[in-house]
């Protein structure tokens, strides 16, 4: 049966580990998997801007033997002019998979329901699951096993990144802490899903408004922009809301001595993270950015293997 990757918990713990193992193999041997040889084409559609996602999918699809077709939705019929359902039916006649960066999670669900090819969420307002595969690969590289590690995500707890940390982190058996102002608390249903996953994997979930408590003893510290794509109109109000949540040396001092720092990028130095942290010795953000390539190649290869004939 065709599998899609719309949210982090679309992969079971065993499947997530399989994808991460394959990502490590593909990092060591870049052309080891060629599921798109032919070549077959993968559509990569953007409703929002991107550097990393665009480049890593384009390069990754080529590495897998395929051809990337990068589509900006404002230059296509998608986005009000043609329905998602009709687009899904057209794309499946020509491409091996659809990768889509968009706003509403419901659009991704509609695309997946309407097509026989795998659909991959390349970031929505609610989740950024491809980023999390890269983040988990990075954490594994620097800290060994994921099970039992404590990760603290600080800042916008209602963001796609925080939600993805809740689901992907608990799937990996990690203790996931979200430190966010009350007005940016994670969605209750996502917290509930993460708690359910954690009960099975040995992980746990903690949501707090105290950034120092979230960071205390953590193995991994993560933050992201306080103003996500689509929220630009709320910039002034949002920046005021996160007073005290900047990840600086003082906040890092609450974490474990050997803690690593991650940020999905793009980063705003002096806003959500201090320059001496993101550019300092604990930061692994460049490995994290590179791992988008390896993790997404592994994901695509894994999904294509399971696609309906
Ligand atoms: N981290 C990330 O998704 O970056 P882009 O917005 O540049 O794709
Ligand atoms: N939370 C950010 C992530 C950017 C990669 C956003 O949605 O804009």
264 lines ligand 1 (CB under 6 A): yes
Of 46, 51, 123, best ligand 2 pocket probe by most atoms within 8 Å of the beta carbon = 123
CA distance linking residue 120 with residue 3, whole number of Å: 9
Q: What is the pLDDT along the chain (309 residues), one digit of tens a residue?
A: 899 999 999 999 999 999 999 999 999 999 999 999 999 999 999 999 999 999 999 999 999 999 999 999 888 998 778 999 999 999 999 999 999 999 999 999 999 999 999 999 999 999 999 999 999 999 999 999 999 999 999 999 999 999 999 999 999 999 999 999 999 999 999 999 999 999 999 999 999 999 999 999 999 999 999 999 999 999 999 999 999 999 999 999 999 999 999 999 999 999 999 999 999 999 999 999 999 999 999 999 999 999 876
CA of 199 to the centre of ligand 1 (A): 31
What ipTM describes this predicted complex? 0.99
Contact call for residues 176 and 205 (beta carbons, < 8 A): yes
Closest atom of ligand 1 to CA, residue 48 = 6
* 128 belongs to the catalytic site: yes
Atom of ligand 1 nearest to the CA of 264: 1
Residue minimizing CA distance to atom 1 of ligand 1: 264
Q: What's the pTM value of the predicted model, to 2 decimals?
A: 0.98
Alpha-carbon distance of 196 to 245, in angstroms, equals 28
């Amino acid at each position: 049966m065709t599998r899609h990757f719309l949210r982090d918990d679309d992969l079971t713990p065993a499947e997530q580990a399989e994808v991460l193992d394959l990502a490590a193999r593909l990092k060591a041997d870049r052309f080891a998997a060629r599921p798109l040889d032919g070549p077959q084409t993968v559509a990569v559609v953007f409703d929002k801007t991107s550097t990393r996602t665009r480049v890593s999918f384009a390069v990754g699809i080529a590495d897998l033997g395929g051809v990337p077709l990068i589509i900006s939705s404002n230059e296509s019929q998608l986005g009000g002019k043609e329905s998602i359902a009709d687009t899904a039916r057209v794309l499946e006649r020509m491409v091996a998979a659809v990768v889509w960066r968009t706003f509403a999670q419901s659009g991704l669900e509609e695309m997946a329901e309407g097509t026989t090819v795998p659909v991959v969420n390349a970031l929505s307002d609610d989740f950024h699951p491809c980023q999390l595969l890269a983040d988990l690969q990075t954490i594994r590289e620097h800290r060994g096993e994921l099970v039992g590690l404590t990760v603290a995500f600080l800042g916008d707890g209602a963001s796609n990144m925080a939600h993805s940390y809740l689901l992907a982190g608990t799937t990996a058996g990690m203790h996931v802490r979200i430190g966010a102002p009350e007005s940016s608390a994670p969605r209750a249903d996502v917290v509930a899903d993460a708690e359910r996953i954690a009960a099975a994997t040995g992980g746990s979930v903690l949501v707090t408004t105290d950034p120092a408590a979230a960071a205390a003893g953590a193995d991994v510290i993560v933050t992201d922009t306080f103003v996500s794509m689509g929220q630009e109109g709320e910039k002034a109000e949002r920046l005021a809301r996160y007073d005290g949540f900047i990840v600086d040396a003082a906040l890092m001092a609450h974490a474990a001595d050997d803690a690593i720092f991650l940020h999905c990028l793009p980063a705003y130095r002096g806003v959500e993270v201090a320059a001496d942290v993101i550019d300092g010795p604990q930061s692994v953000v460049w490995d994290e950015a590179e791992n988008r390539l390896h993790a997404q190649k592994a994901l695509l290869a894994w999904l294509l293997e399971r696609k309906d004939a």
